[in-house]
Structure 1
Amino acid sequence: MKITPTTLTLQQFFSVGNEQFLIPAYQRRYAWGQRQQRELFDDLRLLASGDTHLLGTVLFLSDTHKPGVNQLELVDGQQRVTTITILMRVLARRFEQDKKEKTAQKLAELLHCEGLDEQVLPKLQLGDLDHSDYLRIMDGGDISEVENACLSGAFEHFTEWVGQLSVDELNKFFHKLLNSASIIRLDVGAAKDAYKLFETINNRGLRLRPTDIIKNFLLGHASSLPAGTLDKVKDDWRKLIVALDGLDGLDGDDFFRQWLAGKLHRKVTMTKLVVDFKAYYLRRVQEAESMTEFLSSTMKDDENDDDVEDVAITGEEDEAAEAFVKIRKVKLTEFAKALRQSAELYAKLLCSSTESAKVNRHIANLWRIKAFQTFTWLLDMFGRESLDEKAKVRLLKALEAFMMRRHICEKRSNELETIFAGLTGIADEGYEEAVLEILREHTPDDDEFESSFASFPFVPAVIDRARYALEMFEYRAIGHKNEYYLADPDELELEHIIPKAADKASTKKDFGDWPSYLGEGWKAKHSKMLHRIGNMTLLADELNVVASNNPFLAKRKEYAKSNIQLTKDLVHLGQFKFKQVEDRSKAFAKQAVAMWRI
């Protein structure tokens, strides 16, 4: 392996006029937050005169330089390099404002490159998802149109911090940045060497995510195979990243953990995800037999394992389980394609954006119930061609009932991943009944569910679960025929009939004197009964309650205007105190037993 390490100041690092740094499309998006940006800024701002600061190592996959623009693939270091260029752009802008055009121009030249045709290009080119945002920032466009909040945040944070520097502090900071900060640049000529080095040198800053290690593992192996393999795997990886981008609160790590749990038919912990993935890969990919030096440098267990209950395997247990099944090994390109297709399906499921409106509604219900663990099984189930849409909808309905009962009865949630991973191993023949049988084994019985539902506290953390339950009760009350559905939460409020802050002056003004209405000792009962389902209903936000001496009668007048049957039913009550909350909760609980049944 030929490696050329060079220690460069930032001025030297950016000064080669015909080099462009290219962040490949398969890399993760820019993800540094304010903390990492502030640390970099303060490291330079507080650097003592005469001292130097090492910004770390960057790794380039580069070929022999030629005339024209040379694109160097930035294999590692893209987060820091992107951050530094945005900081340089902010500094240039400040110098422009201070009428120091010469200094601003010096920075601008470092941030661009050009070839023999004299066409000026940005020094750094980000991946497909981020590059338009990056250009908008670097070219002085409208920051409000930048979609990646981390990129816009970097620009806004640096603008604020640079703006706080005095003229003297600004000049010192500028010279420290270009002349006292240095980077160790590693140039590697072969792709297989670049990927092999990636994990070895990345031991600073934020720890590598499992997704990054898996990417490096796949691409590193692909780079050692015949021509064309690496390009195909790169393309599938890029599409995988695009598919998973933007999943609210989730990332590639969640996908790989749930996908692998479905393949191994057992729970996979995040701490053991990488080693379990590699063990699975070695047994399933034809070309894995050729992995020698690259494998030995990457096949390492996670040193920070504190998960005693779920001990990961290195292949022996899974191999024993597969001993009775003939394993069909596939080519790496086929493996990468199937992995990408699974990611695309996973994204559709999580975003409730399948081709079926019925399926999407049921998946949305699972989100409101808080059933993320189910997606291990859903990814497997929706990948089975043997199931038609009607069967999938039936299973989704059973899944809603299963999750509602377990959550309401407060069963251990850490059992769910094992249950759903186990469902992925069921054969196609007799599949639906086999799944239902297993779900029934782990479902609370009617008596436990009815008792728990009547007293369950639907606190703010699970308020979507209460809204889901009320909507299902409403559809049952009206004999729903799928002709229409209730409005979104933005237009339809979940109403606490007895208010949450009943004794506040503002509450008394808007909703009446509930403490006097509820009577002596109301406060102790209030905290116990407030979040029960019997104290809740659905109401359009345009229906405003007017205060009166009898607060429930005031609310009742507005409830009469509602089109929602559950809310209109409240009009028949002469009063609404804690007894009514309890009675209504018990009545709902009896309905719940009939509705959520497997």
Structure 2
Amino acid sequence: MTEQSIISDDMTLKRLFQDFYRVPDYQREYVWGETNPKGEGGEEVDQFLTDIHAEYENATKDFAPEYFIGTIVVCLGKDDVFELIDGQQRTTTAYLTLCALRDALTELGQSLPEELKGQIASSTVDWQGESIARYRLELQYEDSGGVLVQYAEGNGTTANKELTRSIRNIGNAYLTIREFIATTLENDPANIRRFHGYLTNKVKIIRIQTPTIAKALKIFETINDRGVGLDAMDLLKNLLFMNAKEAEYSKLKDVWKELTDEIYAANEKPLRFLRYYLLATFDVDSKLREELIYDWFQKNEKLTKHATAPLKFAQRLLEAAKAYRRFANGMNASGGAERGLANTRTLGGKSIKQHFIILMAGRHLNPTNFTTLCNEIEKTMFVWLMSGTPGKEYERRIVDAAHELRSVTDDSFDEFVQQHFKKERTALAITFRQKMLSLKVGDTRQFRLRYLLAKLTQHVDLLAYGPSQGRDNLDDYVSGGNDIEHILPDAGDAEAIAEFGEGGDDQEVIQQLGNLLLIEKSINRAIQNAKYSEKIKTYPQSKYLMTRCQADKASGQVGVADKITKTVEELEVFPIWNLAAVEQRQAFLARLASRVWNTSDEKTVPQS
């Protein structure tokens, strides 16, 4: 490459990871896995995988469509390692995906493709003939703490996930990818190998190589400051204007502007909104792909009336978009708060929106039934996620339900709920219970674990004290003011381990759901890593009944035979904390979860 030349290469991920890259120390940290204290955010990794998988599913035996993930800017260093100036987020995510695919195959006892191993690590020979082993991607900024090496070496499940912002985000991203492999790819070796083949052979990226870092930074600035792509709905917009009367142009223009503003305010891609609208409004197969939407419109004018009444069609789209934006903000179509919707966002993140299909189909329900719909969606989605139901499958079930819901009346709504939600959860009751009995930190994403503990804690409080503005709102439980407490400390001293006995230093025990408790940060800071006999003197200070009664029912009893006392009597308490107590408490929480998410008629736990 001459001094002034810039090379632009269109390449597959297979070709990309034949070279070595480093993210220099002056670059910002990895942020794609980031979540706020409420567990919101981090949807970029979900979307990265979902979009690739959507194209992957369109592959046939003889043909697979390519998928473009963007541009990166690099500068070749003197040691033949490319400095990654722009594109760290998608490159790091792609690299973590390769590591996670390898780890999943390894845990399933499968042999690894040599090419996959070579995409993660290889060796290079310097000009003196010395062989130097390298990982394909290296993070040099201090905040990374060298953690990417742990994922490259196959230690992703045990890698530290808390020390710094980047380490936490990388950990969240890795767990998201593993969840995708477990649910969407069903932990099936053949599916994993096939997806890896598509990922490396058909996912494309443009790599811009510059002669100097200064030139690379200039190109980075140009890419990020200029050039706005065409709106994804331009073809439909043109189609409507082609068929509109001239007198309607002004009104149609205003409606379209308001429509696109609503979609933008919902933080949604226009074509995804349009696809969900079609699935909710017409008997469209869930296999409809975004790139085929325009063709669908051309073939189905009799259904949509977009050619004979384009303004009315645009107004119907606008009405749906307004509702969609409100759904995205935890509200019903009229703008009223819906706790079920807000909770669904807490457990699923911003990227899981398939349930918006059924929400749009159910806008005609009365307020009481719509609230029930939101609550049933929340419970069923959690059961689906925890039982490993693939995203493609539950979208199909949602679409089938949405098609029926359009014609459901308020009088027939209860039967609809029984058939499409309660029956679904009952069918998964055993799988869900088994998951709860074995669940530990690392099996699900941190924000979902926080949601789980918050819902269990809230349920007990509502039974004892009844509704209130604070207790009705799950935000009070998942907020940054609370911690997930390890009852047996994650880093306990010798005294705490000795008091616990067998398993006191075993991470398999420490990270079990049965060893976790929701507690206020102020209390958690006071007890730190103390032994259990000291902690239980402080637990009664908590405002949460289940935490307060961890070791002694007397800490929560008020009066005689009142609701609080009845609830406390049904709680299991643990004056001594050891291996048997962890297992017993996990079993109790599993039974409580069956009640909270209505998967069975379990009678041995507090119930409403």
Q: What is the TM-score normalised by the length of structure 1?
A: 0.51
- Aligned pairs (5 A) from 1:438-587: 438-443=420-425, 444-459=427-442, 462-478=445-461, 479=463, 480-486=465-471, 487=476, 489-498=478-487, 501-502=490-491, 508=493, 514-519=496-501, 521-523=503-505, 525-526=506-507, 528-546=508-526, 551-572=531-552, 573-587=574-588
Distance 1:410 1:334, change over 3 A: same
- Aligned pairs (5 A) from 1:430-445: 430-443=412-425, 444-445=427-428
- Aligned pairs (5 A) from 1:177-576: 212-223=231-242, 225-247=244-266, 250-262=268-280, 263-275=282-294, 277-279=296-298, 282-286=301-305, 288=307, 331-354=309-332, 360-370=338-348, 372-381=353-362, 383-384=363-364, 387-426=365-404, 427-429=407-409, 430-443=412-425, 444-459=427-442, 462-478=445-461, 479=463, 480-486=465-471, 487=476, 489-498=478-487, 501-502=490-491, 508=493, 514-519=496-501, 521-523=503-505, 525-526=506-507, 528-546=508-526, 551-572=531-552, 573-576=574-577
Q: Output the amino acid matched with 2:263.
A: L
Q: Please say if residues 502 and 578 of structure 2, whose CA atoms lie closer than 8 Å, have aligned partners that are also in contact.
A: no
Distance 1:287 1:484 in 2: 45
Q: Please say if residues 481 and 520 of structure 2, whose CA atoms lie closer than 8 Å, have aligned partners that are also in contact.
A: yes
Distance 1:518 1:277, change over 3 A: farther
Structure 1 SS opposite 2:589: helix
Distance 2:466 2:299 in 1: 47
How far did residue 345 of structure 1 move?
Answer: 0.3
Distance 1:279 1:228 in 2: 24
Distance 1:259 1:287 in 2: 14
User: Structure 2, unaligned stretches of length 5 or more?
Assistant: 1-69, 75-211, 553-573, 600-608
Q: Output the amino acid matched with 2:357.
A: T
Coordinate RMSD, CA, aligned:
4.0
Distance 2:468 2:305 in 1: 52
Q: Please say if residues 368 and 468 of structure 1, whose CA atoms lie closer than 8 Å, have aligned partners that are also in contact.
A: yes
Structure with the greater alpha carbon radius of gyration: 1
Structure 2 SS opposite 1:575: coil
Q: Please say if residues 369 and 413 of structure 2, whose CA atoms lie closer than 8 Å, have aligned partners that are also in contact.
A: no
Q: Output the amino acid matched with 1:459.
A: G
Report what 1:591 is aligned to.
592
Q: Output the amino acid matched with 2:482.
A: E
Q: Please say if residues 492 and 540 of structure 1, whose CA atoms lie closer than 8 Å, have aligned partners that are also in contact.
A: yes
Q: Please say if residues 454 and 532 of structure 1, whose CA atoms lie closer than 8 Å, have aligned partners that are also in contact.
A: no
Q: Output the amino acid matched with 1:251.
A: K
Distance 1:471 1:397 in 2: 16
Q: Output the amino acid matched with 1:338.
A: R
Residue by residue over 1:188-209, the C-alpha shift from the partner in whole angstroms, topping out at 9 and shown as x without a partner, is: xxxxxxxxxxxxxxxxx99967
Distance 2:334 2:457 in 1: 23
Distance 1:236 1:254 in 2: 19
Distance 1:389 1:402 in 2: 20
Distance 1:404 1:434 in 2: 19
Distance 1:228 1:535, change over 3 A: farther
How far did residue 416 of structure 1 move?
Answer: 0.8
Q: Please say if residues 222 and 230 of structure 1, whose CA atoms lie closer than 8 Å, have aligned partners that are also in contact.
A: yes
Bigger Cα displacement from structure 2, 218-227 vs 556-565: 218-227
Distance 2:546 2:530 in 1: 21
Distance 1:592 1:358, change over 3 A: farther
Distance 1:286 1:594, change over 3 A: closer
Structure 1 SS opposite 2:598: coil
- How many residues end up aligned between the 2 structures? 355
Higher relative contact order (CA 8 A, sep 6+): 2
Residue by residue over 1:77-101, the C-alpha shift from the partner in whole angstroms, topping out at 9 and shown as x without a partner, is: xxxxxxxxxxxxxxxxxxxxxxxxx
Distance 2:310 2:446 in 1: 45
Q: Output the amino acid matched with 1:560.
A: P
Structure 1 SS opposite 2:517: strand
Residue by residue over 1:326-360, the C-alpha shift from the partner in whole angstroms, topping out at 9 and shown as x without a partner, is: xxxx6100000100110110010111134789852
How far did residue 362 of structure 1 move?
Answer: 0.8
Distance 1:501 1:362, change over 3 A: same
How far did residue 417 of structure 1 move?
Answer: 0.9
Distance 1:516 1:588 in 2: 26
Q: Output the amino acid matched with 2:317.
A: L
Residue by residue over 1:109-161, the C-alpha shift from the partner in whole angstroms, topping out at 9 and shown as x without a partner, is: xxxxxxxxxxxxxxxxxxxxxxxxxxxxxxxxxxxxxxxxxxxxxxxxxxxxx
Distance 1:388 1:562, change over 3 A: same
Q: Please say if residues 235 and 294 of structure 2, whose CA atoms lie closer than 8 Å, have aligned partners that are also in contact.
A: no
Q: Please say if residues 437 and 590 of structure 2, whose CA atoms lie closer than 8 Å, have aligned partners that are also in contact.
A: yes
Q: Please say if residues 347 and 382 of structure 2, whose CA atoms lie closer than 8 Å, have aligned partners that are also in contact.
A: yes
Distance 1:258 1:589 in 2: 35
Q: Output the amino acid matched with 1:234.
A: K
Distance 1:548 1:404 in 2: 31
User: Structure 1, unaligned stretches of length 5 or more?
Assistant: 1-34, 40-161, 166-172, 182-204, 289-329
How far did residue 471 of structure 1 move?
Answer: 3.2
Q: Output the amino acid matched with 1:373.
A: Q
Distance 1:277 1:340, change over 3 A: farther
Q: Output the amino acid matched with 1:408.
A: M
Distance 1:332 1:425 in 2: 24
Q: Output the amino acid matched with 2:272.
A: D
Distance 1:257 1:590, change over 3 A: same
Distance 1:236 1:515 in 2: 66
Q: Please say if residues 559 and 570 of structure 1, whose CA atoms lie closer than 8 Å, have aligned partners that are also in contact.
A: yes
Q: Output the amino acid matched with 2:446.
A: I
- Aligned pairs (5 A) from 1:130-209: none
How far did residue 593 of structure 1 move?
Answer: 1.9
